[in-house]
Amino acid sequence: MTTRSPLFSARLSAGYPNRSAVLNELDLDIDSGEIVGLVGESGSGKSTLALALLRLLEFRGGKAEGALWFRGQNLLALSTRQMRAVRGREIGLVLQSPLSALNPAMLIGRQMLEAWRAHRRDNPDLLAALASVNLPAEKSFLERYPSELSVGQAQRVLIAMAILHRPALLIADEPTSALDAVTQSEILNLLSRLNAQMGMAVLYISHDLLSVASFCHRIAILRHGQIVETNATEEIFSRPRHPYTQALLGAIPMAPGLRARMPLPA
């Protein structure tokens, strides 16, 4: 029998001083090339998990304990310098507010170049990077400032920066929450294509179960800092086991005809 060895495995608790734990013995695995949706209501610990996975929680005064295994090494045991070599190169991050994440005073091309040179010193093909995320592969685009982009374009720039080094894992923290419905669909299709082309695993963090259903191979339900249920997407929607999962699915707004055909528990 072959022993399963996931790309990423988290067993941790995390929180802030003088407060109760935000994550409480959380247990989550991600396989190579897998898209996992992490779903939970506001305050459930989704963004805290994203920060903890990248060892950024400590910069906000928080602390994570336990183990974060990635490619055979415990990220919590790495030095700050060693973690900098992982963050942005082997694990990428896309945030939910692209215009806030980009530096308003720097040209797009300069910001992309800085993201590349954080780990390498050769010359990247930035035009090819733009084309890979469905942006104009033109020098004039690299010479724009963030304020000259639409929100959807800015989100694609963040994705381009996050995948410059072809990371094994991409953490997408609510990447469509600031977008209209059409642009949301375009971004999810883009991430799906990149996952297929690059074999890149994706942790897609969202409160929107419908977007997760259209995009993810597997779904993990987070409540009060713990994973209460995880299963293949089809199983979550057809046979949810945990009462909280059932409540989340029951709260999805949809036409009565669609809900009647959705096999949810009473």
Q: For residue range 91-108, what is the model confidence (pLDDT) as tens digits?
A: 999 988 888 889 999 999
CATH number among 3.90.1300.10, 1.20.1060.10, 3.40.190.10, 3.40.50.300, domain 8-251: 3.40.50.300
Helix axes 151-162, 108-117, angle to 10 degrees: 20
Q: For residue range 63-94, what is the model confidence (pLDDT) as tens digits?
A: 999 999 999 999 999 999 999 999 999 999 99
Q: Where are the domains of the chain?
A: 8-251
Per-residue confidence at 238, pLDDT binned at 50, 70, 90?
A: very high
Q: For residue range 117-148, what is the model confidence (pLDDT) as tens digits?
A: 989 888 889 999 999 999 999 999 999 999 99
Strand order in the sheet with 63-70: 23-30, 8-15, 63-70, 73-74
Contact 156, 188 (CB under 8 A): no
DSSP state of 207: S
Both tokens assigned to 111 = 């910001």
Short-list 209, 101, 112, CA closest to 160: 112
Q: Residue 192 is which amino acid?
A: S
pLDDT at 4: 60
Short-list 199, 212, 142, CA closest to 172: 212
User: With 90 as the cut, is the pLDDT of residue 255 above it?
Assistant: no
pLDDT at 208: 84
In this prediction the pTM is 0.90
